[in-house]
Structure 1
Amino acid sequence: MNIVIINGSARKGNTLITIDAFIKGASEKNEIEIIKPENHCTSYESGRKCRWSQRTGS
C-alpha cells in the first residue's frame, strides 16, 4: 500500500512526533511519501503565510 503523509506544520513539535511514530509502524509493509512545508515554502512573511502559496493562489 502507498501512504502519503502531508505535514502542514512548519514547526517541529507534536505533529512531527506523531508522524514519526506512525511511520515506524507503517513503514515495514508500506511505501511512505512525506510532503513537508520546507519542500514547498522557502520563506515566511508576517502572518505565517507561505510566499509560494500566495503566488500560486493556494
Structure 2
Amino acid sequence: MQKVIVITSNGMIGSNDKFLETEYPTLSQALKEGYKVTQVIPVVKPATTNTYYETIFILDNLR
C-alpha cells in the first residue's frame, strides 16, 4: 500500500532562525504505522522573501 503526503513549510529570508526543526504529525504517524519513505520530491518555486515550499513524500508499506 502506498501513501503520498505533501508538507508545506514556510521560510523567511533574513530571519534569525536559520535552522528550524518541525515535526509533521501525519508523516510521523505513517512512519509509526510501518510506512517507509521511498521517495522525496522537493517542489521548487521562484523565491520571495517569505517563501512557502512543498515537499512530497512517497511512502510504502510492504505489510
**Do both proteins adopt the same fold according to a TM-score greater than 0.5, normalized to the shorter chain?**
no
| Higher-RCO chain (CA-CA 8 Å, sequence separation at least 6) | 2
Q: Which structure dedicates a bigger proportion of its chain to strand?
A: 2
Q: Which structure dedicates a bigger proportion of its chain to helix?
A: 1
- TM-score by structure 2 length? 0.29
- TM-score by structure 1 length? 0.30
